[in-house]
Structure 1
């Protein structure tokens, strides 16, 4: 806004009405041939007059700045010219508001829903222009542009995809990362960076505001080609994979423009989603299989202590691998009247808010945790390694009934066992760490009550199954 040194600078009163009057500054007289500006502010209130004076002064300052560089030759749009055009757009808005109208681009003025209203509003603006017409017989250019919407909102190139993503990781998505462990943050960034790199490879590292719907559709077509089975051995991409990577681009676009204050911008990746009809449900282990094949003395003696003990804990808690391998000593409550583990966030993020829970230790899980009172430090924040090693160990021993079974099948079996034992839905949700659609009332019963429920489903196991660590042959 133009600085005014006196409260009534550029103001003039005539017959109780206020006017904006200003002489053209000497430094701009080479681009504006007028000697002075006089504009009726259409008010008797000095306070309103001052507000409108400020708006017009700002508009004129910006307009003169634009005029002073418009004649300059540019190989493109220079930063100076772009800055001037931005000021001109803002000035047009300020000027037209001072006249009592709301600024609208010309195409919006022509899109009024009702024809009679469209004509009426255009006439109002034209009449105002006629009142501003001076001796030259034509109104000032700035007024014409402002009232008839002749100034397009300039758009300068913004960050390219790579730069926008770096800003997203370092600043915009802070809330998404603040509770993650270092390993979780790396994995989170790796997945999203893969999505960004796919787009750059297929389309280009273009400024985000230059991504068009056509580019987004071309990227979608590329994923369609990858989902079509080919003649070779390459496995086609799944709809879920395509959705994840397109969704990460959609999220980046939304987050970036929200961050810079342009959240109303239409996302070129909007409503792009592939239906996935593939059956991906993980089958559970059956009770007989667990008892006859897995809870067998000597079956895992060549595994190291941590992996062997974690198998037994997974069976009787239904917990996720990441929840077990990241247990801290203070979360393992063997000294409690009801021994249990506390699943909660310590220096890392849980999968969901509802994952926080207390699970009583029963059966072979209790015996296993007695041999690991400090948890599993070697595998802390290394859930993927635990999963890979256990998958390898089970395949080597033919412990998967089908090719669809995985270590996570223990968790699915735990859910089924609770269901068959008549444990109610709310308690099952709690012990699994799932969201319960019902209102969250009560404390889910005492630990003793939960222990009694889980004792109903605990597998019998041979006493010699969980041997002292000194008796186990540890693999290298």
Structure 2
């Protein structure tokens, strides 16, 4: 299914007639045999260029989904479940963005028939006929969008997660290195698999509040097990796994235009300790295990230098491992290293960006490491922990 709304550059597909802006787009040649319209012309109903561009983006995305659904239907033949599901999702997405472009939110036809004010239903009917023109039959896709006739797609939890990774969570992955991206996805996937193991790979929309509460009880039993011999998990571990399925639910339905859908996992949180004490390595342990002559002789030279730099800098291992040559400033009056985010790698938090003075054994290790940094371990933190 298509991703977040595509931003069309400049004034493409826009035409001004008098003061009013119109959407004017030629049907791409590859879809000409499937869409008999040579050109798509539609008034955007605004004299504002900014509003016209926004509506243009919505209509462009709607058309892209429409053509994709036609192509899927043509190529699939007797469609597989996956192909049929993708075509339905494209069609539904097209309807939601088409409705937005026309000034409405997409509502299923049963809602419009039973719960919507009569004035809204009439406004939608008039908009459908207005879009068709006085001598034309209203287009099916316009009627589906404004009158809620598009078949509603269903996706399983695992399918929704694949869509989440490939299309929705773009910003979350934008500046991650390949290794960071893999670790991010693995963490999310683990949480989603826990839910599937508990409830099955059911349709996302079939998750009820009752089921979500049962899932919360499942984790509560692990945070505080009844068996005194059982090992309890940390509250934050349970919070992370529930939070990941909650985020998937919210972000998926936001993606398909159902921002107002109540999240069954809302307001679920286990109270954790405000601070977890992490005991430091004792000076004796450091002297015997790292600084003693020959203690690290079997280690790779790079690994020895990384470990020594950790001692007096207070850095995370990943921060030292992923230093580049240009991050070493050995010849400055006060030698230091720079921890910075980059386009191809994130740091843990904004406050993680800092300059760290080098002294003592960390300075000597940095002098030796500076010419090449740590190429063997770069973006391979698992090698360090192994």
Superposition TM-score, scaled by structure 1 size:
0.48
- Structure 1's 279 and 356: CA in aligned 2 closer, same or farther, altered over 3 A? closer
Q: Note the residue ranges of structure 1 that are not aligned, 5 or more in a row.
A: 1-78, 95-102, 110-120, 123-150, 390-476
Superposition TM-score, scaled by structure 2 size:
0.58
**Aligned equivalents of 1:237, 1:223: Cα separation in 2:** 9
Work out whether residues 157 and 209 of structure 1, in 8 Å CA contact, stay in contact via their aligned partners in 2: no
Work out whether residues 105 and 152 of structure 1, in 8 Å CA contact, stay in contact via their aligned partners in 2: no
Alpha-carbon displacement from aligned partner over 1:148-197 (angstroms, at most 9, x marks no partner): xxx99997242221111111100110100011011111110011111111
State which of 373, 376, 381 in structure 2 corresponds to 1:375: 373
The equivalent of 1:352 in structure 2 is 349
- Structure 1's 289 and 163: CA in aligned 2 closer, same or farther, altered over 3 A? closer
**Aligned equivalents of 1:153, 1:215: Cα separation in 2:** 29
Please give the root-mean-square deviation of Cα atoms over the aligned residues, in Å: 3.5
**Aligned equivalents of 2:220, 2:187: Cα separation in 1:** 20
The equivalent of 2:360 in structure 1 is 363
Work out whether residues 165 and 185 of structure 2, in 8 Å CA contact, stay in contact via their aligned partners in 1: yes
**Aligned equivalents of 1:225, 1:316: Cα separation in 2:** 42
- Structure 1's 365 and 219: CA in aligned 2 closer, same or farther, altered over 3 A? same
User: Structure 1 residue 315 and structure 2 residue 314: aligned?
Assistant: no
Alpha-carbon displacement from aligned partner over 1:360-412 (angstroms, at most 9, x marks no partner): 211111101111121111111122331x34xxxxxxxxxxxxxxxxxxxxxxx
**Aligned equivalents of 1:272, 1:278: Cα separation in 2:** 18
**Aligned equivalents of 1:268, 1:230: Cα separation in 2:** 26
- 1:238 deviates by 2.4
- Structure 1's 155 and 280: CA in aligned 2 closer, same or farther, altered over 3 A? farther
**Aligned equivalents of 2:289, 2:201: Cα separation in 1:** 53
Alpha-carbon displacement from aligned partner over 1:241-265 (angstroms, at most 9, x marks no partner): 1111100001011111111121111
The equivalent of 1:256 in structure 2 is 252
- 1:309 deviates by 1.4
- Structure 1's 209 and 155: CA in aligned 2 closer, same or farther, altered over 3 A? farther
Alpha-carbon displacement from aligned partner over 1:310-368 (angstroms, at most 9, x marks no partner): 12211121111000001111111223333221111242111112212221211111101
User: Structure 1 residue 189 and structure 2 residue 182: aligned?
Assistant: no
Q: Aligned with 2:337: secondary structure?
A: strand
**Aligned equivalents of 1:229, 1:278: Cα separation in 2:** 21
Q: Note the residue ranges of structure 2 that are not aligned, 5 or more in a row.
A: 1-86, 103-110, 120-146
Work out which of the two has the higher radius of gyration on C-alpha atoms and give 1 or 2.
Answer: 1
User: Structure 1 residue 385 and structure 2 residue 367: aligned?
Assistant: no
The equivalent of 2:200 in structure 1 is 204
Work out whether residues 112 and 148 of structure 2, in 8 Å CA contact, stay in contact via their aligned partners in 1: no
Q: Aligned with 1:240: secondary structure?
A: helix
Within 5 Å, give how 1:6-405 maps onto structure 2: 156-229=152-225, 235-277=231-273, 280-285=276-281, 290=286, 294-346=290-342, 347-373=344-370, 374-386=372-384, 388-389=385-386
- Structure 1's 283 and 300: CA in aligned 2 closer, same or farther, altered over 3 A? same
**Aligned equivalents of 2:359, 2:313: Cα separation in 1:** 8
**Aligned equivalents of 1:384, 1:281: Cα separation in 2:** 24
Q: How many residues align?
A: 256
**Aligned equivalents of 2:195, 2:164: Cα separation in 1:** 16
Work out whether residues 306 and 376 of structure 1, in 8 Å CA contact, stay in contact via their aligned partners in 2: yes
- Structure 1's 152 and 345: CA in aligned 2 closer, same or farther, altered over 3 A? closer
Work out whether residues 157 and 207 of structure 1, in 8 Å CA contact, stay in contact via their aligned partners in 2: no
Work out whether residues 322 and 383 of structure 1, in 8 Å CA contact, stay in contact via their aligned partners in 2: yes
Alpha-carbon displacement from aligned partner over 1:115-141 (angstroms, at most 9, x marks no partner): xxxxxx99xxxxxxxxxxxxxxxxxxx
**Aligned equivalents of 2:229, 2:307: Cα separation in 1:** 34
